Structure formats: structure tokens, C-alpha cells
Amino acid sequence: MKRLKTWRRALVAGAALWACAGLALAHGAAAPDDRGGSGSANPQVQAARAAVFKANPQLLRSIVVGGGFGGEMSYAVANSMYSRDDARAIADVRAKIKIEAVAPRTWLLRLPIVNVVVFETDEGLVLIDSGYAPAGPVLAEVLPTLSPKPVHTIVLTHFHADHAFGAWALMQQSPPPRVIATDAFIEQMELDMRTWGLNARNNQQKLADVPRSWDQAVRPTETFHGKTTLRIGGEDFVLTHARGETEDQLWVAVPGRSAVVSADYFQSFLPNAGNGKRRQRYPEEWAQALRDMAARQPQLLLPAHGAAITDTAEIQDRLPAQARMLDSIARQVVDGLNRGERKDLVFDAVALPADLAGRDDARELYVSARDIGRMVASQYTGWWDDIPSHWRPAPLAREAGELAALAGGADRLIERAVALASQDAPLASQLADWAWLADGDNPVVVQGAMWVYAQRVAQPLPAQEALVYAEHMVRLQLKLQALQEGR
């Protein structure tokens, strides 16, 4: 009862939260704008975002910890990864870049969120990845301070916004560098261009920035299938395609330097192999790539996110351990599906083996083991979730309305959700969603749904999960504002 009274008081006090909203704590952590994108200049969206993050500090912490991907976070960059002229993002890259000499003629450029690897050869510089578009001008400034040699080759490990878009500023040199990727890169990039609106939402980017043609992206000058070796300046660079985070991903071995550039296959936390907003990922092939890297016995591991690893024993510990994590999840899911278990029961049962679960590189900072389990299942099965009525369900609004009616109205349903929030946040969130779908113009329902999700985000969460809840909470906050203003 005390909890319900507190919630009712929060509804009355809702307007006070808006008085503080101008603080604008987070410029771009996944709030939708009125065009379906994110990072909007719409002052109401900015105010809603600021209000949500001010009232829910742990939500922001969850996004920062996981969203930085082992590097420094930048909100200016996070929502402007495709922009070539965003002054704030470029300035943030310039201010925050860290140049680490990790071996002779070898540098790890640690940008906010992502890394770029630079090798100096006798023939010129070889870059593995080029960061996001705002990194381009900074790379053009920094590279001449490392070496007088021109950029000879840029290898793009995959098509994602944080890896493949900074090269634009390096293509002005004469002659321009060659750009190499797998043959799947072009197809995957063009799929993103085709689904530009979905891409904007999934990546929390402004619609105007998201590429819709090759004029807004760097097209590889050469592609390969499977495996290839580049001979540059008397050194070999071995490029291996292995489906993992993306269909087109590759990793690079430089045997003459006992180095492996692991792209996005290795992270210092549970690998991002279960992102529910993105296209299919391949945890089992991802695991094999990690084992193949370890088999090369590298003395230097250069990841795309996080710090370099220079201790050979640590490399031989971490790569196989993360491979075992992915293999274990995949095995549990496939075994459960083979036994004919309902999918939700299979996912709920997923857990890492005890000897892996406590490791620091098993932390669920961006996705969870269950998320990865869902991604495994999506590779082998269709969209049906094994619930008979879900093959051809009633429209969600009708279903929500009927459930609300059975509960005695959406008000009663949201009251039950509020009462459950501290005991069973997932169930409370589902009830809150039903109430919201049944009566989204009811201020009691909207405020109650906000209360329920505030309880859910009060604990540390994987960043991708936190981003989903943040997006919904901003939507609820915007609705509250509209209701308070009589719109």
C-alpha cells in the first residue's frame, strides 16, 4: 500500500520533473525522435531524455559501462557515427583519442568506443578498420605524426558504423589507399542502406546521417572470399573471413609480428553475440574463430574494443575461454531444441558453466547469455515461439484490452504491475506493457508504467537491454508531457 501511495504522489509531482529536464544529462543514449531516429534536436525529446536519465542514474551507468565497449564513452560520437561534419563528435574524438605504441612500428589508436590498429611497413601504413565517420578528420591529423609514410591499405573488418566509415577522410591522398574487405561486405552494407530507417533506430542515429547510397560510405576497392594473404612492405597480413558478429567479419594475423587483430570477436566481457536488434549473428563460428586465433600463438592481441593484451599466457587463457562460453550456450540451446522443449524454457535454462561464469570476461555488460541463446535459436528455427496461439495471434491492442477488462480495467492492471515491480520486475513490466497497450492515453497507466520500468532499470543491466528500456521510458515521458499539456 505504501508503494502505491508513493506512486500516486509521483503522478501528482510529475510536472516537477519537467522543471529539471533542461539539465540534458545524456545527449544520445537511445531516445527516439519524432521521425523515428535518435539524438533528435527536438527540444521536447531532449527534455524527455534528460528527465529520464536524471530520475534514473543507474540507467545511465548501465549504458555507459556497456556502451563504451571497453573504451571511453562519448555521447557526441554515439549518435553521430555516420556524420562527416558533426563538430561536437569530431572535437570529442580529437580530445579523447589515446595513441598507444604497443610494439615497434605498431600502434593502437584508442578512440572513444572503438580502436583503429596501425602498422607501419616499408611500403606504407596498413590500417585495420577506420572507426566511425567523425574519426576520419582526426585520423588524417594523427597518422602523419606517427609516420611520414602514406596510408597504403585499409582493411575493414566488417560493415558496422563504428568500423567502416572513418576512411572517407583518408581517400583524399594521392594515390588513395586501397580498401579491402570480404566479398560479403558490400552485400551487408547495401542491406543497411536498403533498411536505412530501421538502421537509424537500431543504431540510435539521426535519420539524416544514415547512408542510403555509396556516396555516403567507402566502397572497398578489393574483396576476397574465405582467406587471403596481403604482401605489403615485405610482410604478410593474413585475412580470414569467419562469420561472427556479422556475415562479413574478418580477423587479421601478422605472423612476422606475432600479432593478431581480433576485430569484434574478442571483448573483455561476454561477447556481443546476442544483439536482439541486429541481423543474425553466428556464435558457433565466432567460437571457432577465437580458437583459430589462439592456435596462432600470438604474443600480441589487438582487439577493436578495449586494451591490447601483451601477455601470451593471458591471450591463451582468454581466447579459448570465450570460445567455450559461446560453445556452451550454443550446445545448451541446440540440445534443448532437439529434446523438443518449448523455446522460452530453453532460453530460461541457459547458463554458463560454473568455471566460466565468474570470470571478468563473462560479465553481461552488453548482452546476456540468454540473449546469445536466442540468437543461436534464430539460426536454426523460424519465428514461431512454440506457443500454439502465437502462430496467428490476435492483434496486441485487442489482446491487451481483453486482459485489462478481465483485470477490472487498465488502472487495476497497472496497480498490480506496480505492486509486483520490486518482487518480479520482468512480470511487472509485461503487465505494464499490457496496460499501456490497452489504455495509453490514461495518465495513471502511463505514470505507472514509468514507475515499473524505473524499478527495472534501478539495477545494473546489460547495455543493450538498458537501451531498450530507456527508449520506452523516453516515449512514456513524452506521453506524460502531452497529457499534462492537454495535447
Give residue limits of the domains in the chain.
2-71+396-484, 82-380
pLDDT value at residue 485: 85
Give the Å distances, CA to CA, from 53 to 17, 29, 424, 477.
Answer: 11, 9, 23, 11
Helix (H/G/I), strand (E/B), else coil: 152: strand
pLDDT value at residue 6: 58
pLDDT value at residue 373: 98
Helix (H/G/I), strand (E/B), else coil: 217: coil
pLDDT value at residue 97: 97
211 and 258 Cβ atoms separated by less than 8 Å:
no
114 and 131 Cβ atoms separated by less than 8 Å:
yes
- H-helix or E-strand containing 477? helix 463-484
Task: Tell which CATH architecture fits domain 82-380.
Answer: 4-Layer Sandwich (3.60)
End-to-end CA gap in the chain: 32
Surface-to-core class of residue 74, CB atoms within 10 Å of its CB (0-12 exposed, 13-18 middle, 19+ buried): buried
At 147-206, the pLDDT tens digits run 999 999 999 999 999 999 999 999 989 999 999 999 999 999 999 999 999 999 888 899
pLDDT value at residue 31: 36
Length of the chain, please? 487
Q: How far apart are CA 355 and CA 341, in angstroms?
A: 26
C-alpha cell at 471: 527508449
Phi and psi at 109, nearest 5°, equal: -90, 110
pLDDT value at residue 45: 86
pLDDT value at residue 202: 87
Residue 183's Cα: distance from chain center in Å?
24
Q: How far apart are CA 165 and CA 123, in angstroms?
A: 24
- Provide DSSP, 108-153: EEE-SS-EEEEEEETTEEEEE--BSGGGHHHHHHHHHHH-SSPEEE
C-alpha cell at 106: 605498431
What angle in degrees, to the nearest 10, is found between the helix axes of 2-12 and 443-456?
120
C-alpha cell at 373: 541463446
Which ranges of the chain have pLDDT less than 70?
Answer: 1-41, 487
Q: How far apart are CA 6 and CA 234, in angstroms?
A: 71
pLDDT value at residue 362: 97
Surface-to-core class of residue 339, CB atoms within 10 Å of its CB (0-12 exposed, 13-18 middle, 19+ buried): exposed
